[in-house]
Amino acid sequence: MVRVFEILVLSFLAAVLTGCGEPEKSKPIWEDVKIGDIAPARPTKNSGFQLLKTANFDIYVFELPAKNIGSLDAIWELLEGSGFSKDGRAGYLYTRPLYFNDYEAFVGNTFVAGFGQLSMWDQVREQLVAAGGKKAETVSLLIPRDETKDLTVTLLEEEQTIFYVSSEGSMEGVTAGPGKLVLRIKAERIPGSRGVCKVDAWPVFLTPKKGVIHQLTPGKKSDEFAFTSAGFGLKMSLGDFVFLGPQEYIDHQITLGSLFFSRGGYRPVVRTFLLVCTRINY
C-alpha cells in the first residue's frame, strides 16, 4: 500500500515538473483587438462617468513593414471617405462623410483617412494581418465636451526643419524642436442631437519654452505650431471609427507625413491609427 502511494506521489510530481517545462504558447497578435473589444461599452446607471459630459475614444496604433505599404490600398477601398483610389490618384467623389480643412493639402502631406463602422472591422483587421501588421499601442482619451486632447505621435530630441504642404499649396518649412508631434482631437456637441458629436483632428507640434519653433520665413515664435492644412473632421457616433494612414513611406526627408507615419531603422515600418468612438455622454 505504501509502495502504491509513493508511485502516485512520484507520478504527480513528474507531471507537474513536465508541465512547468513546457513553453508558453504565444497569443495571436489580434486576440485583443477584435470587434468585442473595440465595441462601445454599455453605460451603467451607477457609472460616475455619466455625470461628465464627455466623448470617449480608444486609439489603436498599428505598425506594418514599410515594404508592405501597398497592402493598405485594399483597406482604403473598404472604407468611405479615403479620397485615395487604388491607382494613387486622389478624387473628390470619395470624401464623404469626412471633410477636410484643405483636401489638396491633406493629400499633399501624404495623409489618407477612411471612415468605417464596427461591422467593418473584421475586414480591415484581415487586411492588416495579411500585411504583417501588429498592434503597437493603445490609448484611451476622455474628451470633455467642446474641448481638446492630444495624442502623442512622435518625439523630436533636437531641432529639425519639418517640411509640409500648406493651404496655399506650397511646400513650406518649420524649424522646431526639441518637442513632440501630436494629433489634437476636439469633440463638440451638436445642438439638437444626442449620441453624436462633431470631431475635428489636426497635427500640432509642441515644444518646451526653452525650445525653438518658427517659420523659415519671418514670423512670430510660439510654443506650438498647428498644421491646420492637414486637419480633417466628421460626425461620429458609438462604434464609428476613423482609420488614418500614409499614402507612401518616406525615409529620405523630414516631412509632416514621415514624422507621423514612418519609423526607420533596421526594419522600417509605417504606422497607422485607428480612432474608435466608444461612448458619448451628451
Q: State which residues form the domain around 240.
A: 52-280
Q: What is the per-residue pLDDT for 13?
A: 43
In a domain, 211, yes or no: yes
Q: How are beta strands 134-144 and 54-65 bridged, if at all? A: antiparallel
What was the pLDDT predicted at 265? Answer: 82
Q: Taking the model in full, what pTM does it have? A: 0.78
Residue 47 domain flag: no
Query: Of 219, 222, 186, 187, whose CA–CA distance to 206 is shortest?
Result: 222
Structural domain contains residue 27: no
Residue 11 lies in a domain: no
Please report whether residue 145 resides in a domain: yes
64, 133 Cβ separation under 8 angstroms: yes
Question: Has residue 38 been placed in a domain?
Answer: no
Q: What does each of the 282 residues of the chain score in pLDDT, given as a tens digit?
A: 545 445 444 454 444 444 444 444 444 444 456 655 665 555 555 554 456 899 999 999 999 999 999 999 999 988 876 555 444 444 433 456 899 999 999 999 999 999 999 889 999 999 999 999 999 999 999 999 999 999 999 999 999 999 999 999 999 999 988 999 999 999 999 998 899 999 999 999 998 766 555 554 344 445 899 999 999 999 999 999 999 999 999 888 899 999 999 988 889 999 999 999 999 998
How many structural domains comprise the chain? 1
Count of C-beta atoms within a 10 Å radius of residue 228? 14
Determine the pLDDT at residue 167.
92
Q: Classify residue 168: in a domain, yes or no.
A: yes
Residue 3 in any domain: the answer is: no
- Where do the H-state alpha helices sit in 89-193? 103-108, 121-130
